[in-house]
Amino acid sequence: MTDKPKFYITTAISYVNGAPHLGHAYEAISTDVIARYKRLDGYDVFFLTGTDEHGQKVESSARAQGMEPKAFCDMIAAQFEEMTRTLNISNDGFIRTTEPRHYASTRAIWQKLVDAGDIYLGSYAGWYSVRDEAYFSEDELVRDGDRWLTPGGAEVEWIEEPSYFFRLSAYTDRLIAHYEANPDFAAPPHRRNELMNFLRQGLKDLSVSRTSFRWGVPVPGDDEHIVYVWLDALTNYITAAGYPDEESEFYRRYWPADIHIVGKDIMRFHAIYWPAFLMSAGAPLPGQVFGHGFLTIEGQKMSKSLGNVVTPDAMRETYGLDQMRYFLMREVPYGNDGSVTPEAIVQRINSDLANDLGNLGQRVLTMIARNCGGRVPEPGGFTAEDEALFAAAEALPGETRRAMEDLAIHRMLEAIWRVVGDANRYVDAQAPWALRKTDPARMNTVLYVLADVIRQLAIFVQPVVPDAAGALLEQLAVPDEEGGGEGARDFAALPARLTPGTVLPAPWPVFPRFVAEDAA
């Protein structure tokens, strides 16, 4: 067993009522960047994603297609699993709530809540949104002509049925105390404040079973009821850690999760209901729930009726995978909402990737290939300018770590691109092409400094653009265990500098410019 600290991170599990869209891709990519960064920083990461397959919404989507729910789920879940591959997501596990292990875990959690005296039989009469799979009280709804909608614009239906309830009201004070003792439990801070306000109003008991349809996990001891889809879905995180086998090595190592990454729309479920369920079950709570923002398409909500739904495949095929990953991570401060426009994507590709980083690599590696016999050049003494550029690069472990402690992925990228800018200014100022005739020894030193700084930059951009970074490292002949490829990549274990004389492959460009006709 490794002596590295563990880090268990999850995405939300996606409903399989339809194919993956850009919002799902955004969550998968951003969580992947965090997971990859943590691996680079020496953690033993367990990264989980998966699909949420029960409930009324999925059942009715299946029926609308004339399919049995399970066959329908198999079909759509396969698309989500495929998305993790096409987007180069480095998840270690993929969970489906229709798996037997998850039924066992959900039923075990239910039994714990019963044993704690937190479940009682009653009946629910009220509004339900199938889209959100959530109950709404009248005062939460908004009027739209002659009908009522949720604040998020979803339709509601009136339901009346026998239901088991969870004594959520009994957890208000414990949750407030937990928030106060753990100020980062729910993040970013403005989301935490919203949740705190909600908690301070006092919680009502929660309906946790349904009887009017069948697609779900049967309630232990009362088959008429199926477990409310959110109680079922949230349990996925602990199922994947091996629950209910609390003695297993895996569970003891990985539970509780360190971070749940979810969209802002489902913070309440994760940062209020989930910790309350876990408190009742006597299981440790996750370290943090982070709510990221929503992506819009040119400022508009993505929706089937507007016909503006962007699929991850379409974006990847048009712009390239690393380009897409970079754009989504750089353009939108993580935690905020953000608008996706073709102009902004092209601008980021051509300026940050092609001009700034791509060109830096291409210029330097081509000069080395032509003027240094295709080997890492032998440096002479370093000048103040050389040392300043090294110092900027060598500050990256600290700077990126500070940004990532706040999950500020965009700030990590800003820090890296400041060094890209420094390196480009250094090339221009040192003009190695002019040194070729006048001072070849100095040219060697300058190209050595640049090659090594490119190596360091490539190591730090790996979490966001793994393919391109791997190509840069390959061109610098950096072996896997020193930061290239998929090998061990602990910052602390990185060798200080490139070895002069190392033979390099012929260089190739990693970030081509995006030319508009390409889109056609």
Q: In angstroms, rounded to a whole number, what is the distance separating the alpha carbons of residues 494 and 478?
A: 10
Q: CA angle at residue 106 from 240 to 224, to 5 degrees?
A: 155
Radius of gyration of the chain (CA): 26
Query: For ligand MSP, which residue of 45, 159, 259, 266 counts as binding (CB under 6 A)?
Result: 266
Query: For ligand MSP, which residue of 7, 15, 72, 273 counts as binding (CB under 6 A)?
Result: 15
Enumerate long-range contacts of 472-478, CB under 8 Å, 24 or more apart: 472/361, 472/510, 474/505, 475/361, 475/365, 475/504, 475/505, 475/507, 475/508, 476/365, 476/376, 476/451, 476/504, 477/376, 477/502, 477/503, 477/504, 477/505
Asked if 276 touches ligand MSP (CB under 6 A), the answer is no
Asked if 96 touches ligand MSP (CB under 6 A), the answer is no
Q: In angstroms, rounded to a whole number, what is the distance separating the alpha carbons of residues 202 and 22?
A: 36
Asked if 234 touches ligand MSP (CB under 6 A), the answer is yes
Q: Which is nearer to ligand MSP, 267 or 372 (CB)?
A: 267
Token pair 């507007």: residue = 306
Beta strands in 68-217 (DSSP E): 93-96, 119-129, 134-136, 142-144, 147-149, 157-166, 186-187, 206-207, 209-210
Q: In angstroms, rounded to a whole number, what is the distance separating the alpha carbons of residues 374 and 370?
A: 7
Distance of closest approach, residue 200 Cβ to ligand MSP, in angstroms? 24
Asked if 377 touches ligand MSP (CB under 6 A), the answer is no
Asked if 233 touches ligand MSP (CB under 6 A), the answer is yes
User: Which residues 325-354 are close enough to bind ligand MSP by CB under 6 A?
Assistant: none
Q: In angstroms, rounded to a whole number, what is the distance separating the alpha carbons of residues 3 and 187?
A: 29
Asked if 399 touches ligand MSP (CB under 6 A), the answer is no
Distance of closest approach, residue 479 Cβ to ligand MSP, in angstroms? 37
Q: Which is nearer to ligand MSP, 27 or 352 (CB)?
A: 27
Judge contact between 459 and 490, C-beta under 8 A.
no
Q: Which is nearer to ligand MSP, 12 or 272 (CB)?
A: 12
Distance of closest approach, residue 266 Cβ to ligand MSP, in angstroms? 5
| Number of chain residues interacting with ligand MSP (CB under 6 A) | 19
Asked if 294 touches ligand MSP (CB under 6 A), the answer is yes
Distance of closest approach, residue 318 Cβ to ligand MSP, in angstroms? 18
* Binding region for ligand MSP (CB under 6 A) out of 12-20, 164-172, 217-225, 386-394: 12-20
Distance of closest approach, residue 16 Cβ to ligand MSP, in angstroms? 8
Nearest CA to 8 out of 260, 210, 203 is that of 260
| Tokens representing residue 224 in the block | 């008429």
Asked if 13 touches ligand MSP (CB under 6 A), the answer is yes
Interacting residues toward ligand MSP by CB under 6 A: 12-15, 23-24, 26-27, 52, 233-234, 236, 262-263, 265-266, 294-295, 302
